[in-house]
Every structure is written in C-alpha cells, then in structure tokens.
C-alpha cells in the first residue's frame, strides 16, 4: 500500500506537469485571482497561513485542507510561487490532483516572493538587508520552519516534501546542513525531487549571471 501510494503520487505530479496551458481562458484563472478565492471557486477548502523563520522572515503558505490525511509539502522553483502548482487545467494541476487523491496539501513560498515579503524587522521596499539571503539560507531556515509549522498545525509526526528546481536545492541544503539535517531526517519520510538542481555553474541565463554578480563560463 505504501509503495502504491508513492506511485500514485509520482503519477499525479508527472501528469499534472506534463501539459502546460498558458491561455487565461483555458485555465479559468485570471491575473486578478487570489489563491484562496480560486480554490473556493473549485469547491476546495483552503487556509492561509504565516510561517515565521528563526531569522525573522515571515513566509506565506496555503493549505488545501484534508485534515487527518497524509501531509504533502509542495515547494516551488526559482522566481516562482505557490501558483505554479495550480496554474493548469484543474484536472492536470498537481496540487489539485494530489488533494483529490487524499493528501493534505500545503503550498509554501520562498522568502522574498510575492507571498513572503514580510519580516519582523526589515521592510523589503526600504531595507537592503531583507534581500541579503542565499539558497543556503532558504534551506537552513525556510525549510525547517515550514516543516515545523505544518506538523504542529496538523498534529502529524512527519510529511512528504516535494521540491521543484530551486525547491530541491533548498532541501539538499537541509539534508546536509549540520544545524538542521537531523530534524529534517526525522520529520520528512519521503523527498520527491522534480528537476533537481544542485549547482548553477552551467546555466546560461544572463539575468542570473548579472543578478548574482558572478561570471558564467
């Protein structure tokens, strides 16, 4: 049964990500939509949450609530948000498919994205310190904070972590950082890495080269 559950999970993720639909009319999503409102329109119970990290960042998270069911954390990729798990035909959207398969689905957001522009001390529009973070900080602070908050809220002992692209990079940090790896090991029972990324040395994006102020070969 456990192996079959994992196979269904992977099938839902792969088929949900296989078809990209960009036209607003085809997805039924408009640029003005909010995630809770969109989920409500589909008859899905949703919750909005705020997760505070140990270094003061306040991260937005959305829950497709299936109380008592296995907990699934979906972490998006670079320059993205929780919307990435929803923007598709509802029958193909990974988050919606997984909800209907019986998972308690949580969509987390990386520090600095549109849902996580809050801090206990710094203003992202005024303080440069807010933006002085790295992939390492995301793995060292965001990942364990999200896990702890979700498990505390659901009362579950562990969860499944699904990362896409940068979402996997963050988890690779958590798996190896001596500060948090034991906690992650004890609370994540399955890690699913979609388009995993460990290094950016071979990427060709001029944007990332300039933003990171690194020379790309």
Distance, CA of 52 to CA of 134 (rounded, Å): 17
Q: Is the pLDDT of residue 25 over 50?
A: no
Q: Helix 166-176 vs helix 143-154: angle between axes, to the nearest 10 degrees?
A: 90
* Number of Cα atoms under 13 Å in the Cβ half of residue 59: 27
Q: What is the pLDDT of residue 204?
A: 67
* DSSP secondary structure of 162-197: EEETHHHHHHHHHHH-TTTHHHHHHHEEEEEEES--
Confidence of residue 21 (pLDDT cuts 50, 70, 90): very low
Q: What is the pLDDT of residue 146?
A: 98
Distance, CA of 47 to CA of 45 (rounded, Å): 7
Q: Is the pLDDT of residue 43 over 90?
A: yes
Terminal Cα distance for the chain, rounded: 48
Cβ 175 vs Cβ 167: under 8 Å: no
Please give the residue that has the higher pLDDT: either 25 or 69: 69
Lowest-pLDDT range of 10-24, 26-40, 100-114, 181-195: 10-24
pTM of the predicted model, to two decimals? Answer: 0.83
Angle at 77 between CA 72 and CA 78, to 5 degrees: 155
Q: What is the pLDDT of residue 196?
A: 76
Q: What is the pLDDT of residue 180?
A: 96
Name the nearest CA neighbour of 146 among 177, 115, 184. 184
Distance, CA of 184 to CA of 113 (rounded, Å): 23
By CB atoms closer than 10 A (0-12, 13-18, 19+), residue 66 is buried
Confidence of residue 29 (pLDDT cuts 50, 70, 90): confident
pLDDT digits (tens, 9 = 90+) for 53-112: 999 999 999 999 999 999 999 999 888 899 999 988 888 889 999 999 999 999 999 999
Average the pLDDT over 22-41 and give the result: 73
Q: What is the pLDDT of residue 107?
A: 97
pLDDT digits (tens, 9 = 90+) for 151-188: 999 999 999 999 988 888 999 999 999 999 999 999 99
Task: Return all residues near 162 (Cβ < 8 A) that are at least 6 apart.
Answer: 13, 72, 73, 74, 75, 191, 192, 194
Q: What is the pLDDT of residue 87?
A: 86
pLDDT digits (tens, 9 = 90+) for 105-145: 999 999 999 999 999 999 999 999 999 998 899 999 999 99
Q: What is the pLDDT of residue 201?
A: 66
Sign for the pseudo-dihedral over CA of 90, 93, 97, 98: negative
């Amino acid at each position: 049964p456990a192996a079959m559950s994992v196979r269904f999970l992977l099938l839902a993720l792969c088929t949900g990500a296989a078809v990209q639909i960009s036209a607003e009319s085809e997805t039924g999503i408009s640029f003005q939509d909010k995630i809770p409102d969109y989920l409500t329109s589909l008859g899905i119970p949703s919750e909005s949450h705020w997760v505070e990290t140990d270094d003061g960042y306040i991260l937005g998270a959305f829950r497709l609530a299936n109380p008592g069911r296995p907990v699934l954390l979906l972490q998006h990729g670079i320059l993205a948000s929780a919307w990435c798990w929803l923007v598709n035909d509802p029958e193909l959207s990974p988050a919606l498919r997984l909800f209907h398969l019986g998972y308690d689905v949580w969509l987390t957001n990386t520090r600095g994205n549109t849902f996580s522009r809050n801090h206990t001390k710094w203003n992202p529009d005024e303080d440069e310190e807010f933006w002085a973070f790295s992939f390492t900080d995301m793995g060292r602070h965001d990942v364990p904070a999200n896990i702890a908050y979700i498990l505390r809220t659901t009362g579950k002992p562990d969860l499944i972590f699904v990362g896409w692209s940068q979402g996997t990079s963050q988890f690779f940090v958590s798996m190896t950082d001596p500060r948090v790896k034991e906690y992650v090991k004890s609370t994540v029972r399955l890690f699913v890495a979609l388009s995993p990324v460990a290094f950016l040395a071979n990427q060709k994006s001029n944007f990332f080269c300039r933003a990171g102020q690194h020379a790309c070969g």
